[in-house]
């Protein structure tokens, strides 16, 4: 698994972007790819662990696990 930081996440639309630690190209993330119980959302600046895959529209993050609950913890 890779690690990175949430660059932005639109809670109303349910998607955003993660900047991986190993390269600067942001990855798309959809709320359905977040593996936490309850309301699935991310906060800008939050650290995450994820798997990078090639989706229909390019590279994206799946199996996204928050490493902390607060941004920049």
Mind giving me the DSSP string for 18-65? EEESS-S--EEEEGGGB--SSS----TT-EEEEEEEEETTEEEEEEEE
Tell me the pairing of strands 47-55 and 27-30. Answer: unpaired
CATH assignment of the domain containing 53: 2.40.50.140
What b/e readout covers 16-28, taking b as 16+ CB neighbours within 10 angstroms? bbbebeeeeebbe
Running along the chain, 73 residues long, what does each successive block of 10 average in pLDDT? Answer: 96 97 92 91 96 92 86 51
* Residue 32 structural domain: 2-66
In this structure, are residues 7 and 16 in contact, taking their beta carbons and an 8 Å threshold? Answer: yes
pLDDT of residue 69: 63
pLDDT of residue 56: 87
Tally of domains within the chain: 1
Q: Is residue 73 assigned to a domain?
A: no
């Amino acid at each position: 698994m890779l690690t990175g930081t949430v660059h932005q996440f639109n809670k109303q639309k349910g998607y955003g972007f993660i900047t991986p630690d190993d390269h600067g190209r942001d990855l798309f993330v959809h709320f359905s790819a977040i593996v936490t119980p309850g309301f699935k959302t991310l906060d800008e600046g939050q650290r995450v662990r994820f798997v990078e895959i090639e989706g229909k529209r390019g590279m994206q993050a799946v199996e996204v696990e928050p490493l902390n609950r607060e941004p920049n913890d």
